[in-house]
Amino acid sequence: MKLTLKIWRQESPEDKGRLVSYEMDGVAEDTSFLELLDILNQRLIKKGEHPVTFDHDCREGICGSCGFMISGIAHGPQKLTTTCQLFMRQFKDGDTIVAEPFRSRAFPVIKDLVVDRSALDKIVQAGGFISARTGSGPDGNAIPISKEKADRSMDAAACIGCGACVAACPNGSAMLFTAAKISHLGLLPQGQPERKQRALRMVAKMQELGFGACSNHGECEAVCPKGISIDFIARLNRDYMVASALETVEPVKKV
């Protein structure tokens, strides 16, 4: 295959950045997108040029670190797929592919395709945990949980925190991410004692960090590589409304 890559190159956060074109030939259909960038970087290094900077880790669709925009779509055109699992067979010979970093006020560009997504970590730190001391692991049947709730909790827990939902949302909202992190705990007995404070703290932190509001466009669900449903956003809204009526935000206690 012969492809034209247009890649966003930005030397530093202060640099304005620009799209740079690279011609790639002899590309195998079973090459992943990250492997394609590896090949490009090897060629650039041989020429004495700076390689393209991009995030990656597991390359198995688990860690969530590899995301960026591919021809205007977070993680690319194939649904339920992370960038590292996107292969060139999804494109045609002669295609032009544009790779850009995730665009969001809360995700400042660091260099090239790399953005600072630590804002998502801060949302989790605000309340995405339980503080009860559990001691040794209890028996699996000690706390009965219905299969429906267990399955729903696992669906929410599938979120890998890649940030695609934020990048796809026209408002730059992190509601799907926050809803998933709140719901996978809120659906289980262990998450009930802090359920209200969790919703208040995490939503407050999300707003503080500059994420936009949800307006139900549904773009977040469309690009989520793990298929997280926007139904969880409705659940978050219910938890937040109840918590707002009954409590005020309390500071996180350091253990």
DSSP 142-208: SS---HHHHHHHHHHHT-----HHHHHSTT-B-HHHHHHHHHHHHTSGGGSTTHHHHHHHHHHHHHH
Name residues whose C-beta falls within 8 Å of residue 94's C-beta, 6 or more positions apart in sequence. 2, 3
pLDDT tens, per residue, the chain with 255 residues:
999 999 999 999 999 999 999 999 999 999 999 999 999 999 999 999 999 999 999 999 999 999 999 999 999 999 999 999 999 999 999 999 999 999 999 999 999 999 999 999 999 999 998 887 766 766 767 788 899 999 999 999 999 999 999 999 999 999 999 999 999 999 999 899 999 999 999 999 999 999 999 999 999 999 999 999 999 999 999 999 999 999 898 887 765
Q: Report pTM.
A: 0.93
Give the chain's mean pLDDT.
Answer: 94
Q: What is the pLDDT of residues 193-221, one digit of tens each?
A: 999 999 999 999 999 999 999 999 999 99
Burial class, 124, CB count within 10 angstroms (exposed 0-12 / middle 13-18 / buried 19+) = middle
pLDDT digits (tens, 9 = 90+) for 115-137: 999 999 999 999 998 887 766 76
Task: Give the integer Cα–Cα distance in Å for 81 and 71.
Answer: 15
**Pairing mode, if any, of strands 3-9 and 96-100?**
parallel
Rounded Cα gap, residues 188 and 192, in angstroms = 7
Partners of 115 in the β-ladder: 109
Domains of the chain are 3-111 (3.10.20.30), 117-246 (1.10.1060.10)
Cβ 237 vs Cβ 217: under 8 Å: no
Tokens of 147: 């299969």
Give the H or E element holding residue 74.
strand 73-74
> Tokens standing for 201?
């703290």
Beta strands in 92-206 (DSSP E): 96-100, 109-111, 114-115
